[in-house]
Structure 1
Amino acid sequence: MGDLSADDFGDGFDLGSDFGDIGDFDDLSDTDTGGDTDTDTGGGEPEAPDEFSLDEEADAPDEGAPDDMPEELLLDDEADEFTFDDEDDIAAAVPIAEEYSFDDEDDDAEEAEEVGDDEGDGPDDDFESDEFSLGDFGAEFGVLDDGDDAAAAEGQEQDDEAAEEEAAAVAFAGFEISERDFERVKQTLAALPLNLKIAAERIIAEDKGSPKQQQNLVRRLIEGTSPKQLAELCGNILGKKINIPKDYRKKSGIEFEEEQRSLSYRFRKQVLPVLKVAALAGAVLGLVVFLSYRFVYRPVYAELLYRQGYELIPEAEYSAANQRFDQAFSLWRRRPWFYRYAEAFAEERQFSLAAAKYERLLMEYPFDKRGFLDYAALESRQRFDFESAHEILEIYRRGYSEEQLLEIVREGAQQGTAAGDRAVRRAERLENAYRFRNFNDIDVLVAQGDNFMLWADREDIARYEDARVKYATAIEVHGETDLLLMRMLLYFIRTDNYREVMPLKDLFQTDRRAEIDPYIYAELGGYLMDYDELDDAGDVLHRVLDKRFDIPELHFHLARYFSRVSRPTDQLTALNNAISLFEQTEPLTPRQAGMLVDTYGRAGRYHYEREDFLLSEQHFRDGISHYEQARSIGFLEPEERFGSLYAGLGDIHYYIAGELDAALRRFREAESAGYRTRELSYKKGFVHYNRERFEEALDEFMNAAGSFSANPNLLYATANTLYNNENFFSAEGYYFELRDRMERERSLIRNLLVDEDPRHRNVIEYIIRVNNNLGVTQQRIGERTGDPNKSSEGMVQLTRSMEFAENYRRDPQTGRRTATTSLAFLNMRETLYPRPEFELQIYQNIPRDFSDLDF
């Protein structure tokens, strides 16, 4: 091959045209190709242009690129950027531009002229071989300029064999490339962005990098490697970052001039900018309208609809409320309104509607933690569906089971094809998403434990153990927090584990900074009173009082405490506070409902003891009303404390109003409500006795006695009932038992003060009455059996009754006998002087209760 000159590079390597269309590469503002770069040309060091602009070039269509350029040489729009170290050092040595911009669209022709040397007149003059040189680039490849005489002479001195080899190949850095490969190098360089081409030429011309790196670069140029990879390689060699402009275009000066005369160019530069401005203005206006509608009108109108529906719920227009909700939700999705609607439905006791709202919430927001917790609380605390509450919380922890997912699909399929498809997608989404749930979320574990506590308290006591497991699991995972220790304290209280309650009580009482749950701590105070720990109970309750005043359970237990320590004024205040706070609490839990009924009962008895019978009766009636309402909805079951309200109201009829039939009715209701005492049976027996229903009276007296009773009032009432049933032998036995007891008691009284001590008078009255009744009974037995001994024994008993009546029924002031004749005297006279119209009589009146000392 002959001598090579710069002209041999052809158009593909014409740096004049290359530099002529650098246009608007604004980022080359820092590029200086003539700073430290040494060239072999004699024309001096060309100055780098101050500014470059290629906006019009960037906008040019793809036909500006060479038609025969390999596809891999075209730069991808998403070309990455590469960063290399030691950038500052390289920049200092060779001031080459590091960044390029395509933003400004100035006159391309002007900028094309500015790219050249200041003294040049056009693109052809700017880059003559005497104005710019590749340095040793041609020499490195064995290609020489025509003016280099030394190189030409050296070529002439080569032998024929070397000339033949050089014709077939070009030598570079210890290896050779063929003429065809050299053409590929030029072609690849011509297609590169300007900054990358300059960098590649610098590496070759200035012998940058190691020979191995240079050889690798040449091979990449021959292979037509993509600009992205070449930028990375050149950047590694130069130690700096080389940015690849997006959508770069490469055109020659002639092509550029031809493009300027084209209709498409004029349209692009003259018409298109106007269209862009108009389109932009229209887009901005449309965007403003869209955003105003989307983010102003729709949210405001949706909020109005939400509130309208919410206000319809207290008016019982539930269907209309849900319609407003659906309209609002279609305009603007607002999660908080799900909670508000559900809570409002629950307050109206529309639990099914509340549950449906939670169901839809979880359908729209499958991982809403508050939704799961509130829904479970609704099922547990208000619907008492503890099993459903547990399943809801388990779904949050572990996800839907296969059966539940299939049920979702089946329900969707029943509503149509579209709904079925949505159900399938939802089931798949739930199945995948719930695999990543938190199994040991502390709030969910505590909620499950609380649900089990309610479950055990209401239905199945075995669930207490399930609650303990949940609390223990939470403690194991999250540690012994005050919250969890409080829950364990509640568990021990409910299971009556005194040995575990006291250490926890001491722990919280010692640490005054510990966070206590006021509801649990108030229950602790009541529990301590059950064990007569009154001092600790008072401290606990007053600590809660210092923290919270508005807890009705606190005032309920304070009323109990003040009653125990004999502070009636404080007791009444606590009772009134408890009633007021319980009445304001909606909805009441079953435990709270029971406390409210109990509070009314305590208030009724408080006023009864102070003979304020009207207020007492009102409290009893209010308490009974609350009990019957709670009983009707399954909140409460019969308990002694609830039945005591009926008994208290019955006592007002029994003792105060003298309405024995009304009293008997209330006593029976008391027993139905769970209040069964021996004295209540006695009172019922008294009513039957008074109404001469002796069989019923005897049954009640027997119930009052139980297996055995030594109560003198009960013995006397039973004996009289047996006598009236003409069961004389049994009556005789009861009279004997009672007479012996009374005489033993009389013998224990050293100083008998009948007129001063009611108990002494009661003993004497019993002796008088029992001896008379026993004497009459024996007379009846004698008449029935014909046994004269019984009649004689009867007369003896009548005589004793007469003696006690004569001696102790005297005027306390004068000591004279009263004018009243004793019944024993009349019976004795009838026995001695019988008359057909006269029958022996017993003392029929019986005491009203066990403790009554007055007949």
Structure 2
Amino acid sequence: PIIDALINGETPKSLAARFKTLTKRKIDLPRSYEKRSGLALEVRRASLVYQLVREGWPVIRIVLLVISISWVLGASIFMWVYRPLKANQLYQLGLDAIKVDDVEKAEEYFHDAWDGWPLFYSEDKDPDRIADSPIVVKGWKTDNEWLKYARALRRRKHWDTAMQFYEGYLSIKPGSKDVRLEYSRFLSGVLGKYQEAFNLIESAPVAGRLEWDRDYTLAAGDVLLDWAEDDPTKYEEARKRYAKVLELSRNDEKAILSMMRYHLRLKDSDEIERLLPIFDNEIAGRTDSPQLASEVYAGLGNYQLAKSNEKEARRFIDLAISADLQSSEASFMDAMFWRQAEDEQKELSAYKRTLVNLEGRESLTRRNLEIRILTLGGMGRVQALNGDLIDAGSSYHKSVSLYEDARSRNQLGADPAFGQIYLDLGNLKYVGIESGGKSSGLQLTLASNQELVKEGSDRYAELDLADYYFTEAQKLFAGSRRDTGLPTGSLYRRGYARYEMARDDALLDFHRVARLKPDDYEVRIALATVLLKSGDYEASRNQYVRALDLLDDELSRTGGVLNPLDKQSHSELLLRYIIAWNNLGVGRARSAARGGGGGDYAAALSAFTMASEYLDEVYEDMPDVISRGASAVRNIDGERIVKDVNGLKLLEESTTIPNLNRMRLLGLEKAPEGTDLYMMYPDIPSDLHGN
């Protein structure tokens, strides 16, 4: 019956009923089949649409599944692998740009990585490149990159941009105490922006903490203490912050150290002595605040050193070093200790250790800068004492360059301690680095013509720099030294340098030195010679007369006569007597020629005669004097030297400047055309007596 029903084309529903009647088993038919006949079903199965759906759907379903999986996987890789990797690359490119000081490019890389970048990234500098890009990839925000950039910018001294990145980080994480304190130390210690640093601490979020916070309170005190260097009214506010912490915890080590640092800054001996017993039993290296402890111990070492208490000074310096081996304060104070002990090798070693401790810091605080500058200056001083003039010059130049850079950034102000570095460098240039020490050009000679230092020569450059460094030192010493601002020896040297370079202000320097050292015959000779060259014959005469009196006093201290056995003293005094008497005669003769009294001619003749008598003391076995322009007039047996001039036998002494001046004064000799009638000795002593 079922076969017949199939042949007759009955519907699936009828066939299912017959099947159930025969087998007692039910066939569940899809609704769409209930009204179809078997023939119709066969026709449908034979259709192209059915074949496509029946055979193609599994394939399509697999394809769609593969596409879906690929899309999800691709999107995941794009979102969670490509984006962070590309962003990290951009962040790194920005950090690399900072290393070459391309801050603008660094900021561009950072903001691309943070906010988003064009999918098809290029180095195009068009500001609208992102807006014009059809696809912009969402940035990958890494909070710590703000800090990395801020610290990298600090290292390269791009302060303003570094501030922006610190502020950017705190805008994301305002509750980060460590970063807030780090930023406040940067504002206060490096930039000197005390108000901003103080406001930053005071504006710290208070939610979730007590009304006051120990770390923030101490940090505010530190800012106020630094601020007090410019505004002393802040000292009391700083003290109150430290006292507040001590009220709540008498054993708070950091608060105790901070309070001691406060008293050290004020140099309050009474309060320092009151707190000192607390530090009697300190154990080396045992501290919870190593940097602060090292700074305070170093300060106490300096305090004890100033009191000449070397044992206690050494103890505190050792404590400072053990508290923080990387402390520049401790190693610098160690150098100061060895300087006072006059151990140059240990002093130099401590200076070198200080520089090592300062290397690698992201940025230097004002105190770090000060220590580095003074350390380089100290190294230069030791190297100069050891005769290493080239190395000394290099150290001094680095010190001065660093100071001038810091001053241009308003990080450091004028201070006599820095003035000493300029002074030392001026003295080093003065004696002549290029000439390897005491320049031969500094020896007093009897040259008849002043050999001015030629502009463009090494010696001119040295004297020009010496003039500059002495002048800069004078500015930094202003107020700390009475009247001139410079030590008299350096003031004299500046005058000499200016005289050698034919600068008008040399006379003013010599006048100042003569006022400060009225009994130094060197400055009297120098001042008299400069006055003579300027045509002030009366003033010049007075100075030469005073110089001769002082030379007589010096001679009386050595026995009253020129002693040939004391070659150094004999040579130097002999040269000065010759110069003073001859130039005194020149001044009187020129004054008489200009309309002075007849007595000036007689006095001039007497002066020239005295100069000749001193020249009569020059023997041919006195190479030092002869090499400096004097003519030997006697041989080793004391006989006068005779020389042949155009077939005439003449005494050597007749060709000397004083004798020629005397002959011209008497009308027995004529001066060559275009020359002065009376010849002077234009050279002057290069240093004060005893320098």
Asked if these proteins are the same fold (TM beyond 0.5), I'd say: yes
Decide whether aligned partners of structure 1 residues 379 and 309 sit closer, same or farther in structure 2, where only a CA change above 3 A counts. farther
2:352 counterpart residue number: 576
Q: CA deviation at 1:528?
A: 4.3
Decide whether aligned partners of structure 1 residues 335 and 690 sit closer, same or farther in structure 2, where only a CA change above 3 A counts. closer
Measured in 1, the distance between the counterparts of 2:247 and 2:219 equals: 16
Could you tell me which of 357, 373, 382 is aligned with 2:190? 382
Q: CA deviation at 1:592?
A: 1.7
Is contact 1:381–1:589 with CA below 8 Å preserved after alignment?
A: yes
Is contact 1:712–1:738 with CA below 8 Å preserved after alignment?
A: yes
Measured in 1, the distance between the counterparts of 2:515 and 2:233 equals: 33
Q: Deviations over 1:574-622 (max 9, x none)?
A: 2322233333333111222232222222222332333323323322333
2:429 counterpart residue number: 650
Q: Deviations over 1:527-574 (max 9, x none)?
A: 544555444333322332344332233333333332332222222222
Could you tell me which of 665, 685, 688 is aligned with 1:831? 665
2:242 counterpart residue number: 471
Measured in 1, the distance between the counterparts of 2:248 and 2:639 equals: 88
Q: CA deviation at 1:391?
A: 0.9
Further displaced range: 611-620 or 648-657: 648-657
Q: CA deviation at 1:791?
A: 2.8
Q: Deviations over 1:815-847 (max 9, x none)?
A: 636856354344334434542317333332112
Is contact 1:440–1:474 with CA below 8 Å preserved after alignment?
A: no
Measured in 2, the distance between the counterparts of 1:817 and 1:503 equals: 80
Is contact 1:552–1:582 with CA below 8 Å preserved after alignment?
A: yes
Decide whether aligned partners of structure 1 residues 708 and 641 sit closer, same or farther in structure 2, where only a CA change above 3 A counts. closer
Q: What is the SS of the residue equivalent to 2:228?
A: helix
Q: Deviations over 1:113-136 (max 9, x none)?
A: xxxxxxxxxxxxxxxxxxxxxxxx
Q: CA deviation at 1:353?
A: 4.8
Decide whether aligned partners of structure 1 residues 345 and 748 sit closer, same or farther in structure 2, where only a CA change above 3 A counts. closer
1:128 counterpart residue number: none
TM-score, structure 2 normalization: 0.66
2:363 counterpart residue number: 587
Is contact 1:604–1:648 with CA below 8 Å preserved after alignment?
A: no
Measured in 1, the distance between the counterparts of 2:198 and 2:431 equals: 47
Equivalent position amino acid for 2:95 in 1: P
Further displaced range: 809-818 or 519-528: 809-818
2:109 counterpart residue number: 320
Map 1:165-204 → 2, pairs under 5 A: none
2:638 counterpart residue number: 816
Q: Deviations over 1:152-199 (max 9, x none)?
A: xxxxxxxxxxxxxxxxxxxxxxxxxxxxxxxxxxxxxxxxxxxxxxxx
Q: What is the SS of the residue equivalent to 1:843?
A: coil
Decide whether aligned partners of structure 1 residues 697 and 358 sit closer, same or farther in structure 2, where only a CA change above 3 A counts. closer
Measured in 2, the distance between the counterparts of 1:782 and 1:712 equals: 26
Q: Deviations over 1:613-647 (max 9, x none)?
A: 33233223333332333233232334404523652
Decide whether aligned partners of structure 1 residues 366 and 706 sit closer, same or farther in structure 2, where only a CA change above 3 A counts. same
Could you tell me which of 468, 487, 502 is aligned with 1:669? 468
Q: What is the SS of the residue equivalent to 2:203?
A: helix
1:640 counterpart residue number: 419
Q: Deviations over 1:288-323 (max 9, x none)?
A: xxxxxxxx9999999868855653442233333344
Equivalent position amino acid for 1:379 in 2: L
Q: Deviations over 1:674-699 (max 9, x none)?
A: 45524344333223323444x33212
Tell me if 1:370 matches 2:192.
no
Equivalent position amino acid for 1:610 in 2: N
2:373 counterpart residue number: 597
1:767 counterpart residue number: 577
Q: What is the SS of the residue equivalent to 2:558?
A: coil
Measured in 2, the distance between the counterparts of 1:589 and 1:366 equals: 24
Measured in 1, the distance between the counterparts of 2:468 and 2:573 equals: 35
Measured in 2, the distance between the counterparts of 1:766 and 1:389 equals: 64
Q: CA deviation at 1:486?
A: 2.1
- The RMSD of aligned alpha carbons is 3.9
Q: CA deviation at 1:665?
A: 3.0
Equivalent position amino acid for 1:384 in 2: G
Tell me if 1:394 matches 2:237.
no
Map 1:264-275 → 2, pairs under 5 A: none
Map 1:84-95 → 2, pairs under 5 A: none
1:403 counterpart residue number: none
Q: CA deviation at 1:650?
A: 2.7
Percent of aligned positions that are identical: 22
Measured in 2, the distance between the counterparts of 1:375 and 1:811 equals: 75
Measured in 2, the distance between the counterparts of 1:755 and 1:559 equals: 44
Q: What is the SS of the residue equivalent to 2:616?
A: helix
2:684 counterpart residue number: 846
Q: CA deviation at 1:722?
A: 0.4
Equivalent position amino acid for 2:210 in 1: N
Measured in 1, the distance between the counterparts of 2:151 and 2:87 equals: 14
1:782 counterpart residue number: 592
Measured in 2, the distance between the counterparts of 1:463 and 1:497 equals: 16
1:726 counterpart residue number: 535
TM-score, structure 1 normalization: 0.54
Q: CA deviation at 1:796?
A: 3.3
Tell me if 1:685 matches 2:495.
yes
Q: What is the SS of the residue equivalent to 2:359?
A: helix
Measured in 1, the distance between the counterparts of 2:147 and 2:217 equals: 21
Decide whether aligned partners of structure 1 residues 557 and 644 sit closer, same or farther in structure 2, where only a CA change above 3 A counts. farther
Measured in 1, the distance between the counterparts of 2:240 and 2:378 equals: 37
Q: CA deviation at 1:390?
A: 0.7
Q: What is the SS of the residue equivalent to 1:827?
A: helix
1:560 counterpart residue number: 336
Measured in 2, the distance between the counterparts of 1:709 and 1:728 equals: 20
Q: CA deviation at 1:654?
A: 7.4
Measured in 1, the distance between the counterparts of 2:328 and 2:218 equals: 23
Measured in 1, the distance between the counterparts of 2:323 and 2:639 equals: 70
Unaligned runs of 5+ in 1: 1-295, 400-432
Could you tell me which of 313, 316, 319 is aligned with 1:543? 319
Measured in 2, the distance between the counterparts of 1:511 and 1:763 equals: 61
Measured in 2, the distance between the counterparts of 1:503 and 1:527 equals: 14
Q: CA deviation at 1:332?
A: 9.9
Q: CA deviation at 1:326?
A: 5.8
Measured in 2, the distance between the counterparts of 1:479 and 1:299 equals: 53
Is contact 2:430–2:493 with CA below 8 Å preserved after alignment?
A: no
Equivalent position amino acid for 1:637 in 2: G
Measured in 2, the distance between the counterparts of 1:817 and 1:524 equals: 71
Q: What is the SS of the residue equivalent to 2:411?
A: coil
Could you tell me which of 549, 559, 571 is aligned with 1:750? 559
Measured in 2, the distance between the counterparts of 1:524 and 1:823 equals: 65
Unaligned runs of 5+ in 2: 1-76, 98-105, 118-137, 442-457, 477-484, 623-634, 642-651
Map 1:95-134 → 2, pairs under 5 A: none
Could you tell me which of 621, 630, 633 is aligned with 2:397? 621
Is contact 1:313–1:345 with CA below 8 Å preserved after alignment?
A: no
Measured in 2, the distance between the counterparts of 1:323 and 1:356 equals: 16
Q: CA deviation at 1:726?
A: 1.2
Q: CA deviation at 1:760?
A: 5.4
Measured in 2, the distance between the counterparts of 1:485 and 1:383 equals: 27
